[in-house]
Chains A and B, each alone.
Chain A
């Protein structure tokens, strides 16, 4: 037999349509921002690319953010689209160090949607807002033709105030800083996937959906040496840390053994071929802090119910700027890359 002749096709990959990957929080989302939205809206506040905008109104520093919720199923273990719409926006404000005050909500509802379900969602959203100490002060409703939506989509916009001396930014990480994680990762993503795919576990995974502003309040009371906070939602811990590494032009080195993942979540990830570092959270935060205060801060976080399992998971380095790396259980080092789009379940 002659030498193998192998070849590989070079396909024309279309870039002229939006794909689901553009909404994944990974590289394709960043590309959409860079190529479409930034050029169209260009301004100094937006260009900081934080999870919330911050600006001054008179002498008050204000934080503002917006988020849309298209979760399916609408109700899941640990929450529903209503409570999630509050927590998501409250958390984006909290990550800027802001005290959340007011929310707007916009409902885009598909014709034929059951009124009773809408009532449940609105009640849940209201309860979540009260529990967070924020008021829903304005809103909008649109109804679209049957087939033009998927039940209900909710947008919430939030406004809060930032205390003097608080200055958190994804570009604030410095070599030597500690990386702190507030608890177990992957719960929300796996809870949603389990509902969607009908997966059953011995002890079912609940979404961690929760408002983090009181935890952040405690943290800022403890120290002002916090450089940056992020809640690792879609795209998971990996996307958030890659963004920080990129914007701060530093490396981030994680220790695999230190990253807490529940057994059930690990099991589901093993089974589905997913990496928990890329799975969404809705009640966790990552903090980049001066290493000198890291232990004190972790101790303070552990006194708060949402920070009970807080721990240091890595350090910020001068080497490898822009990269997140992981020291594996075996002592070798690998990259923790930002994904292009969503994680896809493997064949086998």
Chain B
């Protein structure tokens, strides 16, 4: 398959592994931002291949994992109301809220549907004029244009029964927060290729200059990640700190201007709470006041809902790169994808779930072939 096979080619991968081994003279700590990248690293055992000198820690870029518990509670509340059709991306359905998850609402008779695109929710609203259709508009910059477009389209169509429950977050403010933390260990970042496909990578220049930390935009296949690691290692060994683009086959410096425009027209930057992290100033998006008629929080009067997040699991340290999922005493025992204690165990993109799915047995694994 084109654009896939060449980026999973064992020979190319091995050549990059050899290059990294030759490049690295001292230990470095790198963070991949995106959960999709974490997933690939675990799935292919890339951390094993590159050896111990380069430590990979896993960033907060899993949209499911960072959506705050009160947003899930709001989703549960809205989806439970009679007459509502609640439409969501699939992996949000199993995220536990205070009382329950959206699967439970469905089991109790709520009309909860999975969609691949918010435009499907718009279509559902057109086909069900007597019912309120609510789309769960979450994610990073990657999903923001489609979520914005759905609202835009709903307004064009004059729909009065479509709204979005919005909880969008942005990558650069999260990197800034991590770099500002006194306990930060991360010396180089692999920026998320999908986010940068939309946003470009001009935003990262300021971070590189301010914190003197190299950032390389990376893709999602094994060869992409190995190449990005090699590019970061080269910068670190040479004492450089620049923004570089490994994922040039889709990412440009400016990004997708049309997508950025629709996001700017529908959303505005706002403070956001991140699950497990807390409030980060100007780190998210909310609907602009002129789109208030499409704001599910207002329509269903759930704006004031709050939920405490008890400090029990270690996702805090995992998301900062201070600990690995396997360091958690509940990992694989009291916390598993069937009974997740925290959000990073829910989504396949979550660091805990990636370790659970691919690596929890690593200590006792032997190569048998």
C-alpha gap A45/B235 in the complex (Å): 65
Q: Is A52 an interface residue (CB 8 A)?
A: no
Identify 13 residue pairs between A and B in the complex whose beta-carbon atoms are under 8 Å apart, listed by A's number. Answer: A1-B180, A3-B181, A4-B278, A7-B315, A8-B314, A9-B307, A251-B368, A320-B361, A328-B43, A330-B10, A345-B116, A346-B349, A348-B140
**Contact between chains at B90 and A325 (CB < 8 Å):** no
Instruction: Report the minimal beta-carbon distance from A31 to chain B, rounded to whole angstroms.
Output: 8
Residue in chain B with minimal CB distance to A270: B4
Interface assignment of B108: CB less than 8 Å from any CB of chain A: yes
Q: Chain A residues near B89 (CB, 8 Å)?
A: 345-347
- Give the shortest distance, in Å, between B181 (CB) and chain A (any CB): 5
Q: Which residue of the partner chain, among B43, B96, B309, B310, contacts A13 with CB atoms under 8 Å? A: B96
Q: Does B304 contact A (CB under 8 A)?
A: no
Closest to A328 in B: B44
Interface centre among A2, A7, A334, A341 (most CB of B within 10 A): A7
Sorting the interface of chain B by its residue count into under 10, 10 to 19, 20 to 34 or 35 or more gives 35 or more
Chain B contacts with A in 4-18, Cβ cutoff 8 A: 4, 8, 10, 13-14
Residues in A whose Cβ lies below 8 Å from that of B320:
4, 6
The interface stretch among A17-25, A76-84, A116-124, A183-191 is A17-25
Q: Is the CB of B276 within 8 A of A344?
A: no
Scoring A4, A17, A331 by chain B CB atoms within 10 A of each residue's CB, the highest score goes to A4
Q: Within 8 Å CB of B337, what residues of A?
A: 339-340
Q: In the complex, are the beta carbons of B311 and A335 less than 8 A apart? A: no
Measured CB to CB, the nearest residue on chain B to A261 is: B1
Complex contact A348–B194 (CB within 8 A): yes
Residues of B within 8 A of A (CB): 1, 4, 8, 10, 13-14, 36, 42-46, 48-49, 63-64, 69, 89-94, 96-101, 103-104, 106-108, 114, 116, 138-140, 142-143, 177-178, 180-183, 194, 222, 275-278, 307-317, 319-320, 336-344, 347-349, 356-361, 364-369
Interface flags, A300-339, vs B, CB<8A=1, else 0: 0000000000000001010110010101111111110101
B103/A330 in contact, CB under 8 A = no
CB-CB under 8 A for A334 and B359, given A1-B180, A346-B349, A347-B63:
yes
Contacts of B312 in A (CB 8 A): 7-10
Give the residues in chain A near B96, CB-CB below 8 Å: 9, 11-13
Name the CB-closest residue of A to B358: A334
Q: Which residues of B contact A323 (CB under 8 A)?
A: 361
Are B104 and A19 neighbours in the complex by a CB distance under 8 Å?
yes
A263 & B97 in contact (Cβ 8 Å cutoff): no
B315: chain A residues within 8 A (beta carbon)? 6-8
What class of interface size applies to chain A in its complex with B? 35 or more
Task: Give the residues in chain B near A325, CB-CB below 8 Å.
Answer: 361, 365, 368
**Which of chain B's residues has its CB closest to A21's CB?**
B103
Q: Is the CB of A36 closer than 8 A to any CB of chain B? A: no
**A331 partner residues in chain B, CB cutoff 8 A:** 10
Further pairs besides A9-B309, A13-B339, A329-B44: 9, Cβ < 8 Å: A3-B183, A5-B316, A12-B98, A19-B103, A332-B44, A339-B337, A344-B93, A347-B89, A347-B349
Contact B43 A347 (CB under 8 A): no
Q: A325-B365, A330-B44 are in contact. Are A335 and B357 (CB under 8 A)?
A: yes
For the complex formed, measure the closest distance between the CB of B14 and the CB atoms of chain A, giving whole angstroms.
Answer: 8
In the complex the two chains form, is B336's CB within 8 Å of A346's CB? no
Per a CB cutoff under 8 Å, which of A4, A14, A341 touches B277? Answer: A4
Contact of A315 among B107, B364, B368 (CB under 8 A): B368
CB-based contact A333/B138 at 8 Å: no
Closest CB-CB distance, B130 to chain A, in whole Å?
Answer: 17
Residues of A within 8 A of B (CB): 1-14, 17-21, 27-28, 31, 197, 251, 253, 255, 263, 266-267, 270, 272-273, 315, 317, 319-320, 323, 325, 327-335, 337, 339-341, 344-348
Chain A nearest Cβ from B77, distance in angstroms: 15
Smallest Cβ-Cβ distance to B178: which chain A residue: A4
State A41–B93 Cα separation when bound (angstroms). Answer: 33
Nearest A residue (CB) for B343: A8
Whether the pair B316, A17 counts as a contact (CB closer than 8 A) is no
Contacts of A346 in B (CB 8 A): 36, 89-91, 347-349
Instruction: Say how far A19's CB is from chain B's closest CB, in angstroms.
Output: 5
Closest beta carbon of chain B to A332's beta carbon, Å? 3
Q: A17-B108, A330-B222 are known contacts. Are A345 and B316 too (CB-CB below 8 A)?
A: no
Q: Report if A4-B181 is in contact (Cβ < 8 Å); known contacts: A17-B104, A330-B222, A345-B114.
A: yes
Task: Please measure, in the bound complex, the distance between the C-alpha atom of A272 and the C-alpha atom of B104, giving whole angstroms.
Answer: 23
> A40–B194 Cα gap in the complex (Å)?
50
Complex: chain A residue closest to B95, CB-CB: A11
Given contacts A346-B90, A347-B63, contact A8 B316 (CB under 8 A): yes
Question: Residues of A contacting B336 with CB < 8 Å?
Answer: 340
A333-B90 CB under 8 A given contacts A6-B320, A346-B348 = no
Is the Cβ of A1 less than 8 Å from the Cβ of B275?
no
Most buried by B among A333, A340, A341: A333
Known: A335-B358, A335-B360. A348 touches B36 (CB 8 A): yes
Across the interface, B69 reaches (CB within 8 A) one of A9, A14, A18, A327, namely A9
Q: How far is the CA of A252 from the CA of B307 in the complex (A)?
A: 44
Minimum C-beta distance from B6 to chain A (A): 12
Query: Once bound together, how far apart are the Cα atoms of A317 and B308, in whole Å?
Result: 47
Q: Which residue of B lies closest to A344 (CB)?
A: B90
A18 to chain B, nearest CB (A): 7
Residue in A closest to B348 when the chains form the complex, CB atoms: A346
Of all chain B residues, which has the CB nearest A175?
B368
Residues on B with C-beta less than 8 A from A19 are 103-104, 106-107
